[in-house]
Amino acid sequence: MSKIGKLPVKYENSVQITEERSIVSVTGPKGNLKFSLPNEVKVTIETDQILVNRKDDSDRSKAMHGLTRTLISNMVEGVTKGFEKTLELSGVGFRASVAGSKLTLTVGYSHPVEIEAPEGISFKVTENKITVSGFDKALVGEIASKIRKVRPAEPYKAKGIKYEGEVIRRKAGKAGKAAA
């Protein structure tokens, strides 16, 4: 039995959970998320918790058991609390600004790079930090990754965009010629 899969997913009264034709729908104060259940698992919805069980002991069922439970847990957490990722901007003249739902990055290119926020995602910029927040964990991570790809931190001076707390392995620069 999967250690993670057998744990119940607890939820509050403010969250509405329904299962219809193997599609789990979670609605809460922050939004609505849907997930299509794999054939190998079944979900039991009780008054304050959700139980995920597998139908047989095949390898695929075992793999889907814990995954499905974690995805449903993330959906419940997302519609109640939400998720956020923070990115750090470092480099001379590197700036970020938000206008409406559009993030504008000035990171050393000849033009500013604009990233439009999809529905359910919001940007916040304070000094050299960009915060991406929303209720869908996968979408928050995907947008944060897209922002980071604009100018990843380079290993010589660590200039660029990196996740908060990410450690950039530094390289030594050129050794230079010794005077003869």
- Asked whether residue 140 carries a pLDDT value surpassing 60, the answer given is yes
Work out the pLDDT band at 72, boundaries 50, 70, 90.
very high
- The whole-number average pLDDT for the span 137-152 is 95
Secondary element (H or E) of residue 43:
strand 41-45
pLDDT given for residue 175 in this prediction: 78
Secondary element (H or E) of residue 54:
strand 49-54
**What value does the mean pLDDT of the chain take?**
91
Distance CA(177)–CA(167), nearest Å, equals: 30
SS3 95: strand
129 vs 62, more confident: 129
- The whole-number average pLDDT for the span 79-93 is 93
Distance CA(78)–CA(150), nearest Å, equals: 26
Work out the pLDDT band at 84, boundaries 50, 70, 90.
very high
* Strands 49-54 vs 83-90: parallel, antiparallel or unpaired: unpaired
Q: How far is CA 9 from CA 79, 135, 136, 153, in A?
A: 14, 17, 17, 38
Tokens of 108: 């050393």
Q: What fold is seen in the domain 9-80?
A: Outer Surface Protein A; domain 3 (3.90.930)
CATH assignment of 83-163, among 1.10.10.1100, 3.30.2270.10, 3.40.50.300, 3.90.930.12: 3.90.930.12
- Asked whether residue 178 carries a pLDDT value surpassing 70, the answer given is no
Encode pLDDT of 7-26 as tens digits: 899 988 889 999 888 899 99
Kindly state the percentage of the chain with pLDDT values over 70: 97
Distance CA(2)–CA(134), nearest Å, equals: 29
Domain ranges of the chain: 9-80, 83-163
Distance CA(80)–CA(59), nearest Å, equals: 33
Provide the whole-model pTM: 0.86
